[in-house]
Amino acid sequence: METLAGLPKMVTPDDFPSLNAIAKWCKLNKISLVSVGPEEPLGLGLGDVLRQAGIACFGPGKQGAQIEADKKWSKDFMLRHGIPTARYESFTDVVKAKKFIRSAPYAALVVKAAGLAAGKGVVVAANADEACQAVDEILGNLKYGQAGATLVVEELLEGEEVSLLAFTDGNTIQAMLPAQDHKRIGTGDTGPNTGGMGAYCPCPLISKQALELVQRAVLERAIKGLAQERIPYQGVLYAGLMLTRDGPRVLEFNCRFGDPETQVILSLLESDLFEIMQACCSGTLNKLTLQWRNNVSAVGVVVASAGYPETSTKGCVVKGLPAANEENRLILHSALALNADKKPITNGGRVLIAIAMDSDLRAAAAQATKMAAGICFEGSTTQYRTDIAQKAFKMAPVPSLSYKDSGVDIDAGDALVQRIKPLSRGTQRPGVLGGLGGFGGLFRIKDLSYTQPIIAEATQGVGAKIQLALQHELYDHIGYDLFAMAANDLLEFGAEPVAFLDYIACGKLQVPLAAQLVKGMADGCRDARCALVGGETAEMPSLYKPGQYDMAGYCVGLVEESRVLPRFDLYQKGDLLVGLPSSGLHCAGFNELLTRLQGVDLKECSPGEDHGLSLAQVLGTRTQLYVQQLLPHLQAGEIRGVAHVTHGLLPDVARLVPKEFEVVLDFGAVPVPQIFGWLAGRLQLSANALLERHNCGIGMLLVLPQSSQWWRQSLPGARVLGVLQERKGTSLRLCVRNFEEQLEKLAKPFGSLGNRELHPEGLEQAQPQSSIATRQDCFENAAGRRLTRLPVHYKDPILILGTDGVGTKLKIAQQIGRNNSVGIDLVAMCVNDILCNGAQPMTFSSYYACGKWQQQLADEVASGVNEGVQQAESSFIGSHTADMPLLYEPQVYDLAGFALGIAERAGILPRVEDIQPGDVLIGLPSSGVHSNGFSLVHAVLKRVGLGLEDRAPFSDRTLGEELLVPTKIYVKSLTPLLAQSEQHGIKALAHITGGGLTENIPRVLRKDLAVRLNANTFQLPPVFAWLAAAGNITPEELQRTYNCGLGLILVVSPPQVNAVMQQLRYVERAVIVGEVVARKDAKKPQVQMLHFEESLKRSQKLLTQPKRRVAVLISGTGSNLQALINAVRDSSQAVHAEIVLVISNKKDVLGLERASKAGIPSLVVSHRDFASREDYDTELTRHLEAARVDLICLAGFMRVLSVPFVRHWRGRLINIHPSLLPKYPGLHVQQQALDAGEKESGCTVHFVDEGVDTGDTIVQAEVPILENDDVESLTQRIHLAEYWAYPRALALLASGAISPSASAGKPLIKKN
């Protein structure tokens, strides 16, 4: 703020005792030209005084200033000179004015004080009653003093208002660019009139023809008329116009620059303003031509202090001001001063204006609004509008954004599902239940012949090999690779692969290509007799480039507990290490190889034995699948250990050979494929580089008893690679013979062996941290990898598999460097899906691929995964990680998750055939956007010009913080219900993910059914209201893309609804949102939403209004205070309030600590320091009013309030009582309820009146009294109800949905 502090001392007309003193001061300081800004000194004749003193004045004399200072004179002037204006009459008598209003032949609803009233003396009434009330206030009560002693009552004109300012010397008049002011205080033209809350220029609402008409019929006639009446006029003539159907009409004239139009108009002026003023004063304006910036718009947003326009807040330190203005970004001060510390402080109502200029009006508006949002007044609130210039957008309506516009095509995803369904069906095997399209894949264990089955899981990727496949159209090859990598991994446990899921991520979904990828997976599944039971396709244009893909695969297997490998305990000296031949490179190390092979034409013919194949085809040869070769022998117990060679031959041998053994790998009789020789020679690699990073021709390793012979016939190409020996001392565990010699011969035609090494590509299989809690069913094999036992209580267990990602929500985490919560999202998206099949989540696995391995970043992401796994009451199995600079930028990563759950077959959901019309829909609120639709979020942010560090327009947090709120995990609240089997009455669950409400609910419905939802029954979080407004997203698109506040929906049989609600209402804020209905027209959608647009408009309107300021009064622990704090800071709950003060009558209580942790100002006002209750309450009121409190919540405040206090705060003071009032007011209510044998108790939030708990009820929450309840147990359950009820009541009150009279003694919210 050096620029502000460095300004010369300012003087104002108020600093002088008279107008002559001003002229004298100007003479003394050699002032040659004065520009008068305010209308009042002009109306008093300052222009005449200055000119008489020989000083040029840019502004009219007293007679000319009448055109603004006396509205009656001005209207009469317009009438005399034929200037088009509204019909009117003037009055000095209240009765006559009111009689005219009620009898006028036109809508006489505009009431104006004839004199100057600082821009506030105009009332545009909605009806005659309001107009008459304005007459009483302005003329009857002289609200604006003598300025209102004469009234003008005008016809109400309809149309858009435009301001046209002009320079004039009294003979020539030249118009400036048209602008539009925004008078009302609130967004959407709400609230009282002000001096102007913002403007933009040029205004396209007035046509060129209309401007020419205004020039002739308004401006030129006005100047001519003034001249005819011998009134000199020089300076600015401001015409406030209404564009009516009958043409432009003058609403008023001003005799000076108008605020805030001037700021945006002059920002675009290229001519020298001083030269223009001189020309106006000297009568030579005809010699100048005004020059303006071409094709540039300016938008100004005023930032006002709290209380404006009725009052203002002064002395607040202004924060967020830029160090200096920029060419197209200006902050202009209006009511700003410096305090003793030279810091800028507020000094009036309209404090400053933020101006942005851009060739695009929308961009200028977005930037100006963003600048205003970045400014705050310490200890107070700011007021600014978020819709400046939006009326101009009607001239070129902004197109509605859709998910498809943002690069995500839901229809393409649906088309892919339909295309791959036959591929999935082709992999069916005993155990598979259902097909694609559900929330999870299902597999019945009893259909197989296992007696003590153990569940094994493997997650894999294909690394950068996918780049090779995409470039050379080896799509089905890479799909096969993905399955083979995961299925081969399961063989390490000795397990049979039974079910497979895939995750495909891309920048733009190409259905034929993706279908080929899945075909390759399906081919592998068929070859292994494993079922392809589901998958996830994620289209993420901001994370992947068009044509770019990545994949992850997850395979579940079963193994008898007695056959779990490895059996290190059975290893003996002399055991054979047998290698099975690979089909080529498989999937390891491709990022490094392809990087070094850049510039090599891989379409060239491959050397050696692969005649007719290109290098790309040989490098991209499908991974060998070993399942059918090895599975019978694994199940027979003939193999002691297995290692899938994925990291490199030496690292994988080391995994298979315990430290007490050593082995020599002898390649004397083991052939090395030609392609490894070509790579070594072409890239000058060392033999060790290939041994450490590639399979060198060995795809699978087995440890077999020395006496084994079966493998020689059963495993074609198998070779003894070495023999296990007991390790002696510190001898090397692994030695290699005859490999380098063989490789040298193979490499010679292409160069020779070199000494170059290959870098590792991340941690191929990250093991879970030992500190992470696991379920008791989870255990580790001898190699430290996790497996899962079937819980013994399941009679007919069904495995349920789910996969998902986080989408481009990841981009937000990466951009702001907050990566510790997206792991929660990952878990939530997967476990919520399998809940919909009735599963108890058991385990979770993840896939993490990045552009550059950064341990700290990976740890941050992992911390979120761990947190999510704990919330889901699951065991973390492991994470496959890959470092792939060819696919990802350094700071970019993608995540995929895989959840495994178990359900009793009788408890499988959905029970589609049981769903009937009349079934009830219960909604569980979301925590916000969750993890779908973020590509559309990015498009909206781009459109409005907001960044992730900017404050969210719908909360006090930044947009990044709001958008990263983790997806809600519903496991803890739903699994106890689902464990009740058929007794719970739940027929279906629908997780509202991609496709929103419109496409997810039908997944559990028959075609002859639909659902009817009522948007008035659930809360639409403000983030969706803002997205819809900012992106002009249609209600239909919003419902098709987002959860709209409902994260999960239950379909419940009517008789069980109460029982389900009892368990979910308070812990999940569950609400009844609709019902199942018969679908009479098959062409109509299956989801019918009632009142959605109404709800959306209400939420959007609320965003334009300041939050209600709340004080909480406490005496103790403040548990209800904490519930209120949590609610007001959780934007998804839409509590349009902020807690600004906590007052306790006792010191050192826990509630004060809670306030401190939340950063809320608090006070201790002890009642012991006051002689009377009234004195104490007066002191409370003093503090409350100093904090500008709107509402007061009593939260365990153990004081009886005085009658004056209650009356002063009537309608703004609420309390919560632990009974269902009117039963049991006062104290010891739980004991009273128990003694009376009541069946239920609960709590009541009510307005406070002069009685004891007798105020109007706002919300009641019921709690059943159980058979064995005592006071303590009942109290604890009522506390849970209170934590739901109090925030709900505050939300209703803060939104204006209720008032004391509206509740009329009965609860507004009960049960639902």
How far apart are the C-alpha atoms of 762 and 880, rounded to whole Å? 9
Q: Which run of H or E residues covers position 1013?
A: strand 1009-1014
3-state secondary structure 989-1012: EEECCCCHHHHHHHHHCCCCEEEE
Q: Is 1028 helix (H, G, I), strand (E, B) or coil?
A: helix
Q: Is 1237 left (phi over 0), alpha (psi -120 to 50) or beta?
A: left
| Residue 472 annotated in active site | no
**At 766, which amino acid appears?**
A
**How many Cα atoms are found within 13 Å in the side-chain-facing hemisphere of 781?**
31
How far apart are the C-alpha atoms of 1222 and 184, rounded to whole Å? 44
Task: State the DSSP string of 1135-1191.
Answer: --EEEEEEEESSSS-HHHHHHHHTT--EEE--GGGSSSHHHHHHHHHHHHHHTT--E
Residues β-bridged to residue 537: 504
Q: How far is CA 88 from CA 91, 146, 151, in A?
A: 10, 20, 10
How far apart are the C-alpha atoms of 283 and 285, rounded to whole Å? 6
Q: How many helices (H) and strands (E) does the chain have?
A: 43, 54
Query: Are the beta carbons of 874 and 844 closer than 8 angstroms?
Result: yes
Query: Are the beta carbons of 1020 and 1134 closer than 8 angstroms?
Result: yes
Query: Are the beta carbons of 877 and 759 closer than 8 angstroms?
Result: no
3-state secondary structure 784-820: CCEEEECCCCCCCEEEEEEEEECCCHHHHHHHHCCCC
Q: Which residues contact 527 (CB under 8 A, 6 or more apart)?
A: 625, 627, 628
Q: How far is CA 198 from CA 123, 293, 300, 368, 815, in A?
A: 19, 20, 5, 10, 32
Cis peptide before 632 (omega within 30 of 0): no
- Token pair for 954: 């719908």
**At 816, which amino acid appears?**
I
Phi and psi angles of residue 380, each rounded to the nearest 5 degrees, phi first: -150, -170
Q: Provide the b/e sequence for 35-47 (b: ≥16 CB within 10 Å).
A: bbebbebbbbbbb
Residues β-bridged to residue 1260: 1244
Query: Are the beta carbons of 776 and 874 closer than 8 angstroms?
Result: no
Among candidate residues 1217, 1228, 1246, 1279, the one labeled active-site is 1217
Length of the chain: 1312
Beta sheet of 797-805, edge-to-edge order: 432-433, 441-444, 797-805, 893-904, 840-850, 875-883
Owner of token pair 């892919």:
416
- The Cβ of residue 1169 has, within 10 Å, a number of other Cβ atoms equal to 11
How far apart are the C-alpha atoms of 475 and 1078, rounded to whole Å? 44
Q: Which residues contact 978 (CB under 8 A, 6 or more apart)?
A: 835, 838, 840, 903, 907, 909, 984, 986
Roughly how many angstroms between the first and final C-alpha of the chain, as a whole number? 53
Q: How far is CA 883 from CA 456, 457, 501, 590, 855, in A?
A: 25, 22, 22, 11, 11
Cis peptide before 204 (omega within 30 of 0): no
Catalytic residue annotation: 1217
